[in-house]
Structure 1
Amino acid sequence: MLKFKGKAKWLLWPLCLIFLSTPKKMTAQNTTKPLNALNSQEQCMVSISALTAVGDMDHLKPALNAGLDAGLTVNQIKEALVQLYAYCGFPRSLNGITLLMAVLDARRLKGITDNPGKEYADQADTTDNYERGRKTLETLSQTPQPKPAPGFGEFAPRIDTFLKEHLFADIFKSDVLSYKQRELVTIAALAAMPGVASQLKFHVQAGINTGLSKQQLIAVAVVTAKQIGKKQADILSGILAEL
């Protein structure tokens, strides 16, 4: 596990803030206050998720290094990248995982041993997969979820099945990340991607339902502006303004 002693400990928090300042110029006063709502690990997870979602490998590499330096475990990052395939597709998820492997190899050559962290342990569960996913979605949304989902679920039942059984059952049953952390990952990814405002709006509310504060979500918008651009960040900011 990568360890820091003495004065080095307090240097961990600015790692992602320094990284966030590299793509575009922004004053420290404008960025630091909103970002205080997220700790260094959360800031890095937002960066990793956003950059993976848009396929920006050039900036993802330093973001992965910053996340590991901030104390994110290997399995936490790995789990986030696995989850992201449901939102940005297999190609970008696999590219992110492949890059993480390369980053870890390079760090090992430098003598850095990163904390693997908690591992996913599959446990036998006799609960119907669709029902488990439906219940998870009810927890996230805090609203009843009919079977099938109205509209798209009735029109295309297979996509409703995949959504419930795979994303909200198979992926979400891993406790390597909490529901709150998973929603942070999802919001960061959707905020970075054009054309998904309705899904972003749903997950903003799900994030609040699982413990994210409005101030933390404002911080996500700040990271989005830095990593992706103001146009994308404004979509999230507009949703937050309606809360």
Structure 2
Amino acid sequence: MTAAAPSAVTLTDVSRRYGSGSAAVTALDGASWSAPTGAVTAVLGPNGAGKTTAVECAVGLRRPDAGSVTVLGVDPATAGAEHRARVGVMLQSGGLPNGTRPLRLLEHLAHLYADPADVGETARRLGIHDFARTTVRRLSGGQKQRLALAAALLGRPDVLFLDEPAAGLDPHGRLDVWDIVEEQRDRGVTVVVTTHSFEEAERLADHLVIMSAGRTVAAGPPAEVTRDAPLENVYFGLTRKGRA
């Protein structure tokens, strides 16, 4: 029997709250899930399910109030530069300096890595040359998505976190992103994609995590999670229970 692939990302009983007292909001409520090495894990859930907070904990931007997170075997909140160079991150918003132009930004970021991806090829693949002379502040939402994905790919990461990577893209752009995600998986990268799109999850996922109200309500290979019903039916049944 072949041993199961180890997990590159593991969240165990992770809780995270914002605020205090009666105004506190629970973003994660004992969530546990993992992302197998060299596979695409799609984290699916409605807005407010805790997907983005889970990714922020996994990349070290936020510390859990309880529970533990490991990425490539270490705690991302305390990991050093060597670890961070192995992790690519594309968040929903923020992180792009408004005053610069796309190619200048990518060239600057490439100099931070020992063996970066080719800036010109990465930009070409994502259509960035089409808006290369426009400052970041003037880019459309879809153009910013393309630039943020290019930045996440530059370090040739071992683990790639993509938070809603196709949001705001037209159908052609969405297909381009999905092709890139599959190419990364095929070269052995562990990819974690958060989404609320059934189509995206069905197209990309080798491993599926469904979240609702800060909890993990299902996880496993897509065929296992959807064994008794199509993904859409499973999703709505589980997320309704998750809100109870």
TM-score by length of 1: 0.33
Q: Which has the higher strand share?
A: 2
TM-score by length of 2: 0.33
